[in-house]
Amino acid sequence: MTRTGFGIDVGGSGIKGGTVDLATGELIGERIKIATPQPSTPEAVARTAAEIAAEAAWDGPLGITLPSVVTNGLARSAANIDKSWIGTDARSLFSKALGRKDVTVLNDADAAGIAEDALGAGRDVDGVVVLVTFGTGIGSAVLHNGVLLPNTEFGHLEVGGKEAEHRAASSVKEDKDLSYKEWAKEVSRVLEAFENLLWPDLFIAGGGISRKHEKWIPHLKNRTEVVPAALLNTAGIVGAALAADKGIAP
């Protein structure tokens, strides 16, 4: 019998959910996507998450990601989401909205890292795997032999006098109208700072822009191998479902 889980990935523009085959990481049925309510307050986001679980008729344990530092179910930061998340007991809020106790809440990049490491681009790699997501901001996940060190937040590391995500998020490429080659130079610089601190065995590049990896990964000048994410727009959903299943609750 297929073991299934359920994940919900909360992003700045969309909230996505789906039923996950926990052995393969494939979605069973469709990915449900609802636009993130604006303003993206905790109550509004929790209502949308409940709508998604109801639409899928999911009635088991589930995982939910946030673009925030999450410790013990509490959202601690809000770089690209409504500031009222800071200090919110996200686990209790989602539990109430969804009418169930077994809700796991974790950082979005951490969820994607768990999924890519277990079932995606990092599945056969031992050692230290670092997933970096390039989107509105930069998210990071650090795993050592499959074990996550949660809430690393390398997107906020200062690199050459600027926060890494202000230098090399994919939103910066759009805002400044950079070519892939110009943007890749900034990405190299940021990854160089990360690799000097962590000496990873592998970088996995995630976020929407990793779909166009052939346009920019070849321009990177890093000593660490960089591969594109394999699960692309489902990594957050899959990782949230895996985290709930394995009881990984930062």
Q: Give the footprint of ligand BGC on this chain (CB under 6 A).
A: 67-69, 77, 79-80, 107-109, 133, 135, 137, 139, 153, 155, 165
Closest approach of ligand BGC to the CB of residue 91, in Å? 16
Closest approach of ligand BGC to the CB of residue 191, in Å? 16
Closest approach of ligand BGC to the CB of residue 169, in Å? 8
H or E element that contains 119: helix 108-119
| Strand-pair partners of 130 | 142, 203
**In the complex with ligand BGC, which residue's Cβ is closer, 19 or 68?**
68
**In the complex with ligand BGC, which residue's Cβ is closer, 8 or 56?**
8
**In the complex with ligand BGC, which residue's Cβ is closer, 56 or 205?**
205
Instruction: Measure the CA–CA gap between 107 and 64, rounded to whole angstroms.
Output: 9
Closest approach of ligand BGC to the CB of residue 70, in Å? 8
CB-based contacts of 156, cutoff 8 Å, min separation 6: 79, 163, 164, 165
Residues 115, 235: contact at Cβ < 8 Å? Answer: yes
**In the complex with ligand BGC, which residue's Cβ is closer, 69 or 202?**
69
Q: For residues 132-154, b (16+ Cβ closer than 10 Å) or e, as one string?
A: bbbbbbbbbbbbeeeebbbbbbb
